Structure 1
């Protein structure tokens, strides 16, 4: 179903990131709906919608982040609850699309989990998905319903420029898979591009030694979509320093942050780490070198444009 201004919009915040949902509501001018989310004694999720939303355009905010399985199930149950209220449309807003690293079969008998999540969402009767910085562009093709793919490139670029972190700088892709994302930021900031020649970014043993491009005497800005263990950032910073980079900054959208990220992100070769609030960051990962930018205004403005049947392209 398409949204239009004759139907009242309303936002429901699930448990994964309520602070971001509140910012999105404020930026979009849409009210936050009333719902109750509990668990039965055996851990099953129980949801009730505490007001009438018949005929409304509903926007559900949920990141599929740790605990990913609970948050995914909570989202699917909420979609089903909304579907049974005779809402006009169900729009699912996913600031962080979990399970996104499995987009193709890398070996025999392997699942394509990112496609499975898309199937779940479509079969649950979602009408539209709004996602932020998907790990792989092909995920958009997994959906047969409208998907609005937002990105934080402008937000990151403006921060880097305002803080003069782009002075005498070069933008760096931490591996060959991330070149397109890094090039977008480099073009915005009118900076050169370099690549860490990481031939096996998923390996915990492989350490890259070469850089494609010139980083000597320059500040290096590593661009990526997510940090999980932080190892890729650490080895990238180490090899950049070995090749003469002055300071190394990391600008990454999603702070997924597994437990061992604390040690890797505190590496002396990383001067500053810039992330967004697409995922709530536990206190144990916070530090003086971590800067968090909010995507609340970006997503809120996107929802307002979608509700008014306007293009989101103006945001980028």
Structure 2
């Protein structure tokens, strides 16, 4: 239930006229969010009004970031934002968006997307009443702490956004949420797709038995334990963990290579297991974990991951599925998915658009996010 249905419009007044900016590559999920908000906010005559009682057809703002042939760009907003409560949705990992530079078709990098985000904020000229950035996968989220003489990119990016007038930053399954210490006086929310993942799992695998005898939660590394502890606590399942043995004398592609994965936990023989992680990048570590679980005679290996990047393609996952190493992978639609991914037998997409619409609806009415941050009651009800 959204906040509008809970309280109605008589008791609660929006903070400002709601407007949503869909950055390049976010048009699909933004249109779904717009659909839900219009469904919730229309009157008995199916008409939606803004604060000034003007009828509106959409909450999406008309914005664009045109580029010159040199690759330079600018942000343009084609309608007023004065006094508006702005929510900007940005997928900085969408490499499916391209632009032309010196006659070459160039995919947009995270840096390009982040610069466009700042251009749109700058185009508002400080006239918006409030700006909230919804960045599902946090820009430079993996560069969150200093290991040697190196940059702290995530902290700098957060400070840049707040210095430009952004009041709230919303993200999902952040690699390390302690990075919010960089902006302690601003709103910073870390949401998780727990309920949506479990709902999709129950719908897609209806014959799964969710109890300690038949199902187990596995963390692929020590960093993901808190995430997995939530699943194991809510579902009342046992928890296991792999830890990575790395070769710290070598750096390959910016990181120390993993020598092997060692398992800590109860016997998995004959059980279904759910491996939970924040992202699938190349997928090598995840598939190695799945292979080791199958060697320990696990029945089915399911993978929950908020972000499926698949940076080295899908062939290795096809092979793992055909070899019986993985049974199914669940990822959200929070970031770009290559088109061929959706047709794979082993893949299930978890839709997050209604959840984000609920977050926007709640914030626009200055409501509490507590229930949305911790959906334990909804999960319990779903399982019953």
Aligned to 1:86: 127
Q: Displacement of 1:18 after TM fit?
A: 1.4
Confirm whether residue 98 of structure 1 aligns to residue 139 of structure 2.
Answer: yes
User: SS at 2:88's partner residue?
Assistant: strand
1:118-129 equivalent positions in 2, closer than 5 A: 118-129=158-169
* Native 8 Å contact 2:118 2:161 kept in 1: yes
SS of corresponding position for 1:24 = helix
CA distance in 2, matches of 1:200, 1:166: 36
In the alignment, the residues of structure 1 paired with residue 189 and residue 258 of structure 2 have an alpha-carbon distance, to the nearest angstrom, of 37
- Among 215, 221, 231, the alignment partner of 2:268 is 215
The aligned counterpart of 1:16 is 25
2:216 aligned with 1:170? yes
CA displacement at 1:203 relative to structure 2: 4.3
The residue number in structure 2 matching 1:262 is: 314
Structure 1 position 303 matched with structure 2 position 349: no
Where 1:214 maps in the other structure, the secondary structure is coil
Question: Per the alignment, in what secondary structure is the counterpart of residue 253 of structure 1?
Answer: strand
Corresponding residue of 2:334:
278
Evaluate the alpha carbon distance shift between residue 6 and residue 111 of structure 1 in structure 2; reply closer, same or farther with a 3 A threshold: closer
Counterpart for residue 76 of structure 2: 48
Q: Is the 8 A contact 1:133 1:150 kept in 2?
A: yes
Number of corresponding residues: 311
Task: Give the CA deviation at 1:211.
Answer: 3.9
Check whether the contact 1:76–1:121 (CA below 8 A) recurs between aligned residues.
yes
CA contact (8 A) 2:245 2:260 kept: no
- When structure 1 is superposed on structure 2, of 194-203 and 9-18 the one drifting more is 194-203
Aligned-residue offset at 1:7? 1.6
Structure 2 residue matching 1:254: 3-state secondary structure: strand
Is the CA contact 1:16–1:71 (under 8 Å) kept in the aligned structure 2? no
CA distance in 1, matches of 2:341, 2:71: 27
Kindly indicate whether the alpha-carbon contact (under 8 Å) linking 2:36 and 2:354 is maintained by their aligned counterparts in 1: yes
Structure 1 contact 194–214 (Cα < 8 Å) conserved: no
Q: 1:127, CA displacement in angstroms? A: 1.5
Query: C-alpha separation between the residues in 1 aligned to 2:141 and 2:236?
Result: 30
1:189 to 235, 241, 259: 235
1:198 aligned to which of 240, 244, 248: 244
What secondary structure does 1:120 align onto?
Answer: helix
Is it true that 1:35 corresponds to 2:63 in the alignment? yes
Task: State the 4+ residue runs in structure 1 displaced beyond 6 angstroms.
Answer: none
Unaligned runs of 5+ in 2: 1-12, 39-57, 96-108, 248-254, 376-384
Counterparts in 2 of 1:42 and 1:166: CA distance versus 1, 3 Å: farther
Verify: 1:247 aligned to 2:289, yes or no.
Answer: no
**TM-score, length basis structure 1:** 0.92
Aligned partner of 1:293 in structure 2 is 350
CA distance in 2, matches of 1:172, 1:226: 15
Whole-Å separation in 2 of the counterparts to 1:166 and 1:115: 43
Following superposition, the deviation at residue 85 of structure 1 comes to: 5.8
Q: Structure 1 CA distance, aligned partners of 2:154 and 2:14?
A: 32
1:37·1:47 contact (CA, 8 Å) conserved in 2? yes
Paired position in structure 1 for 2:288: 235
Is 1:131 matched with 2:131?
no
SS at structure 1 position matched to 2:34: helix
Unaligned residue ranges in structure 1 (runs of 5+): none
Pairwise CA RMSD: 2.0
Question: Hey, what does 1:156 align to over in structure 2?
Answer: 197
User: Within 2, Cα distance between the matches of 1:279 and 1:292?
Assistant: 11
How far residue 37 of structure 1 moved from its aligned partner, in angstroms, is 2.4
Name the CA shift for 1:187/1:6 in 2 (closer, same or farther; >3 Å).
Answer: closer
